[in-house]
Chain A
Amino acid sequence: MNISRSISRRMPKGRHFVIGVPFVWLFMFFLLPFIIVLKISFAEADVAIPPYTEIYAWAEQQLSIVINLSNYIFLSEDDLYLAAYLGSLQMAFFSTLLCLLIGYPMAYAIARADKDMQMVFLLLIMMPTWTAILIRVYAWMGILSSNGLLNSFLLSIGLIDDPIRILNTNVAVYIGIVYSYLPFMVLPLYANLVKHDQSLLEAAADLGSSTYNSFWKITVPLSKNGIIAGCMLVFIPVVGEFVIPELLGGPETLMIGKVLWQEFFNNRDWPVASALAVVMLAILIIPIILFNRNQAKEMEGRA
């Protein structure tokens, strides 16, 4: 029951090293950067290298810190940013829902397949995640463009008379996101569903529950952790997604990742980009904590 503790106790020197190395790395390159982002979000844009002002000054034995809220005020005053945040959240919400609706039956089917086939199916699901997202999105560009394959196909079977515009619309962005993020939904769901004890369903059937009823009353509640993990793995990154809206979206596609990119690379306004990131993080912090808790539960499962 307390086995693991005893092992760790037995390596007093190694212990610090084992914990220390990944900890220091992640602290340096994951946590510390956020603090700097927060700091710069309170700075002012400046024509300099780097292009922002320092928020603290040391003069005459006096430390003065200037917290400049103008970036945040700027964000709240311009409707563009609010619309971009809402657009991102909406996009993330609906694409997560779509991924769940498509991914759950897929994960279920894989988990119920023969052992040999399970491995084949899993590899088929995982393989796309090993190829560049850029390439997969790019593949859709050729298909969805107004003179692309989809339109040619629809025209040839006479369903439409004029090419419809799909590329550079939100529809294309939805397709791209669902396409790219589907594996991240299926994999945690599968990992959860495959652990289910088949005899639970048999017991339910034995007690007179229909297959449909058993699915909703037993399988779905038991896969709660898988659903949370899958949804978070899709929802959180999609809120900040840049590549897909940039390549498949059009002028109507307002997403915060794209806006941040433009502020940073096109306008070179680092403080505003930082403020955008801080607000985005503030929105996502609850889902991220939820995900981390869920993950910790799964990770420590038996420990």
Chain B
Amino acid sequence: MSVASSTYKKVLEGDQQPKEVLVKIERVTKKFDEAVAVDDVSLTINKGEIFALLGGSGSGKSTLLRMLAGFERPTDGRIFLDGVDITDMPPYERPINMMFQSYALFPHMSVADNIAFGLKQDKMPRAEIEVRVEEMLKLVQMTEYARRKPHQLSGGQRQRVALARSLAKSPKLLLLDEPMGALDKKLRSQMQLELVEIIERVGVTCVMVTHDQEEAMTMAQRVAIMHQGWIAQIGSPVDIYETPTSRLVCEFVGSVNLFEGQVVEDAEGHALIDSPDLERNIFVGHGVSTSVQDKSITYAIRPEKLLFTTEKPAGEHNWSRGTVYDIAYLGGHSVFHVELPSGKIVQSFVANAERRGARPTWDDEVYVWWEDDSGVALRS
């Protein structure tokens, strides 16, 4: 767990460290026939960071990764690596290596030969190759499996070999395509941490593609949410989760309760939103910039920040009456579905801190409430 916390720490301290850009993607578009897979994407990736492209299938994340690797050529736009334009460079000339989702180990070669393959392409002397392979095997703790063929390895072992192979050439950039996609759930969380540890030890810059938000948030320092070929938001996992800039992002990452409403009071230090779903107005602890004509806004609040009590809250704003509609017990926490008077159903997560505490049950009358700064007002 120390690894995860160090990643998290780095995220929090990230702003103080000097940033050096490694990869610059400039207005890249990729069309397959008429279908636009990647739509005018620009982003930069800093040296030494782990960057995740997170999105559903068809979001264009894999296409973007394949353009970085050189398997696809952008229809438009340029890609720079360390200031060099690599847009038209074939994959075998790029100092970029990839770990494939299926691992793509060469079935007819031993583990050692797989790792040595890339080095042999560079015409490295034999003795040096041996040393490097040995080093890589040690790094991924596979030394005793050097002579095995890929089909004699388990899923986790194959992944280590694939990682060692892609790191052997000391690439400037490491690409991970759904790194945990072929592993079962239990092995996944273990390997996530191990992978991050190895990548950080080597110090390689890394871009990963995943559809699993938990994976992206555990492993990456910065996450880009992709949707239909464009980037919806880039930020640290904390930014993405706590301050999403659009409905799309907050709905994609985690669960969320959304309230549509109109801004009824907009001042320097606060704003009030009137939502037909709630009996009381929403109080936001900062100004909300709205246009004169369109006062409509969406207020998003995460279920774990939506609290509920059986007693009527004392405050003027930010609460509503409701009845317990359904309860899902998930072990660590429970999800309460509360029906508001308007008929809207909201979710609230409650940690099961006690083994058998007294809790509201089905059809109980409750109140949901939240702190002034718990939610986010969204314009789009």
Query: A-side interface residues toward B, CB under 8 Å?
Result: 1-3, 6-7, 9-10
User: Is the Cβ of A10 less than 8 Å from the Cβ of B32?
Assistant: no
Contact partners of A9 in chain B: CB under 8 A: 73
- Chain B contact-residue range equals under 10
Within the complex, the shortest CB–CB distance from B378 to chain A, in Å, comes to: 33
- Please give the distance in Å from A10's CB to the nearest CB on chain B: 5
Contacts of A6 in B (CB 8 A): 66, 71-73
How long is the Cα–Cα vector from A10 to B71 in the complex, in angstroms?
A: 8
Known contacts A1-B32, A2-B32; A10/B90 CB under 8 A: yes
Contacts of B71 in A (CB 8 A): 3, 6-7, 10
Q: Are A10 and B72 in contact (CB under 8 A)?
A: no
Query: Closest Cβ of chain A: how far from B209's Cβ, in Å?
Result: 14
B14 is an interface residue with CB less than 8 A from chain A:
no
Which chain B residue lies CB-closest to A2?
B32
Nearest residue, chain A, Cβ from B62: A1
Inter-chain CA distance A3–B65, complex, in Å, is 13
In the complex, what residues of B have CB within 8 A of residue A7's CB?
71
Cβ of B91 within 8 Å of any chain A Cβ, yes or no, is yes
Which residues of A have CB within 8 Å of B70? 10
Which residues of the other chain, A, contact B66 by a CB distance below 8 angstroms? 6
- In the assembled complex, the Cα of A6 lies from the Cα of B30 at a distance in Å of 13
| Nearest neighbor of A12 in chain B, beta-carbon distance | B90
Question: With the chains together, A7 CA to B71 CA distance in Å?
Answer: 7
Additional pairs, 4, CB under 8 Å, beyond known A2-B72, A6-B71, A6-B72: A2-B32, A3-B71, A10-B71, A10-B90
Distance A14 CA – B259 CA, assembled complex (angstroms) = 59
In the assembled complex, which residues on chain A have CB atoms less than 8 Å from the CB atom of B91? 10
Q: Using CB atoms, name the residue of chain A closest to B70.
A: A10
Q: How far is the CB of B56 from chain A (nearest CB, A)?
A: 15
Q: Which B residues between 1 and 57 are near A, CB-CB below 8 angstroms?
A: 32
> Cβ of A1: which chain B residues have Cβ within 8 Å of it?
32
Q: What is the bound-complex CA distance between A7 and B90, given in angstroms?
A: 10
Determine the chain A residues whose CB is within 8 A of the CB of B72 once the complex forms: 2, 6
Nearest CB to that of B92 among chain A residues?
A10
Nearest A residue to B33 via CB reads A2
Docked CA distance A207–B70 (Å): 50
| Whole-angstrom distance between the Cβ of B178 and the nearest chain A Cβ | 15
In order of increasing CB-CB distance, the 4 nearest A-B pairs are A6-B71, A6-B72, A10-B90, A2-B32
Residues from chain A with a CB closer than 8 A to the CB of B73 are 6, 9
Interchain nearest-CB distance for A190 vs B (Å)? 25
C-alpha gap A3/B90 in the complex (Å): 14
Closest to A9 in B: B73
Which residues does chain B contribute within 8 Å of A2, judged by CB atoms? Answer: 32, 72
Distance, CA A235 to CA B72, complexed state (A): 44
Q: Smallest CB–CB gap between A6 and chain B, Å?
A: 5
Distance between Cα atoms of A2 and B62 in the complex (Å): 11
**CB-CB contacts of B52-91 with A at 8 A, as 1s and 0s?**
0000000000000010001111000000000000000011
Whole-angstrom distance between the alpha carbons of A9 and B73 in the complex? 9
Would you mind naming 12 contact pairs between A and B with Cβ atoms under 8 Å apart?
Answer: A1-B32, A2-B32, A2-B72, A3-B71, A6-B66, A6-B71, A7-B71, A9-B73, A10-B70, A10-B71, A10-B90, A10-B91
